[in-house]
Structure 1
Amino acid sequence: MRAAPFTIGLLAMTLAIAGCSGRETETAEGPEAEATAELEIHRPFRRGPGSVNSYWIEGPDEILVFDTQRSIALAERVVAAIEATGKPVTAIVISHYDPDHFGGLQAFTDAFPDAELLMAENVAEQIGRDLSGYVERLRETQGDEYRAPPEPTRFIEHREELTVSNVPIVVHVLTDTEAETMAMLAIPSERAVLASDLVANRMHPDVVDADIDSWPRALNRLTRDFSGFTLYPGHGEPGPVNLLAANQIAYLSFVRGRVEREILADDVATEEEINAAISAIRANYPDWENVTGRPAQLRRNLEAIVAQLGGELESEQEEDGEAEVVEG
């Protein structure tokens, strides 16, 4: 069944679930949209540092959830909004191994035990191995009530077709972008693509696990394959694919160029150079928040790019020199 003209439905609550449908009606709590379409995309989020998008796609008789917020408390507010529809959640898709996208998963699996849990095979392996310590960090921050994500019901694959109320939703599994493996969801009939962290709109992305060479190429492919679509990013407001992808490429180019020209002229990144680069990024992108909500995110980003470009931190050189003296 083909969906009717698309409407984006957004809720407004403390979590700030906002919305647009071509036109918006402002209320005391935030914008609301008339639910007139056969499918609605809901974007739960909260404003400020660490703001992250999860989405739920609502059809006439079922709901699919895409990512599950960074904490159980935030996820429970989304769950309450979904439960108010009276419709079953039939699938929960986790896009990639970043804690802000699966941290609240157990709130959904507890509330909707019959829903399929879907993710790419490599994402499941990364969560299970937890080499970056993300699951352990969630356990530390959320306390004893936190449970590690369960095994998925099954793995999703590139170009696999899911449906919500018989409307096709196509899975796209990307590799070596912002994350090692990341799933996007495209709704061709509605010209919509849920791109997860391939794009952070007007927020500083987390590049610690990124491949800064292939990520821009993936963004160019996104523009080519989904020109004219609306892009729903992992962080920030939705917008045209071409604009949001171009802005993300420009950001990555600016930061990389700063590292290459100002930091790695001699292959060594000094503390002074790192601090100057942070100041330059903030000056060029004023009022942008960090997607992780962590004050040190820009520093960690720059250190990761230095390492990926084959450079070295001055502090690492000093540590190596001390080790040589001790060994000698």
Structure 2
Amino acid sequence: MKILISLFLYLVSPRIFCQDTFIKFVSKSSVQWAAQATDTFHFKTPNLSLLLRERFNKGDIKVGITEPAALGKVEYVPSKEAILERIAPNRVKQIVDEEGNITGTAIDAENPLFSTTYFDSLVNDLVEIPQVMYIESGKLKTYTAWVSPKYAVFTSWGQRLGISNAFSTAFNTSRSFSSKQFKNSILLGRSAAQLKLDSTGQLQMIKQLYAQNLLQALWPWLHTKHYQIIRLDSAVTIPFEKLNMSLLNNQILNIPKYDEEGNISNRTVNLSAQPLDPSAFTKLEIVQDWFYYEKGNKVFSRIQHLVLYAYKYKNNQVEAQATPVLKIMLK
């Protein structure tokens, strides 16, 4: 009996996949679903990467080296020189005389933090941000753990290998921001990221129930005060209770209805009037506004809305491409 009870509890309880300083809040019962996503962003006006490098160069902010695969593991650097050496490992050169004897060292005059070699046009405004998307008490929220400016990595003989994180900063263990902090923050820009609902590769699950994806976990809450649902074909607000298959096929599709004995009754069923469920959608787009609170050195975002995509029917044929059908506004 104990084995059966344990198995039942395992199946119906939310699964928490990892635990550390930055995401320990997901163990709260009010958090129904959570996942981590790490993305790169080009913030140009203002240039967040440059702003963070300038503040670090002046000694205004604390930085560290992070492990992208695990939120919460941060190794703080002891000095600015450690980061400069990380970016440009060959900036300190040995001075050799005519006989081959080492007589001293010389340091390149150019500061690697502002070098067009290591911060070229491809990465000069590029930052990496790991964020946690989660549903708490039915409301979709997001939390940013830190920010990492990107730089170009070169070999000792000058061959470009790729890009990496120069350092990480803006460490944040608090999920809430006051109205005063929000008012005094800098707007960085808006991002729009698409998420395929039949794929788990874009998100690292932290907490979920019944292997639900984001839309499946959010769907039961869309009727609450936190959300406003808009039809994109008419820009009209629609109540959650009126979401049905007519959004995807406006033709009336009547099929016979059978009685308990399997005989065709006089009644028919309108398939277009059947309730809509999350399985009808193929992907969603998450639109966020990003902010930088300079005084506290924190980056945060607010989810503005979601766009749900689905394949529509026309003349009883499925259209070739998914169409944006609904916009879910967050209040």
| TM-score, normalisation: structure 2 | 0.22
In proportion to residue count, which structure has more strand? 2
The structure with the greater share of residues assigned to helix is 1
Higher relative CO (Cα under 8 Å, sequence separation at least 6) belongs to 2
| TM-score where L is the length of structure 1 | 0.22
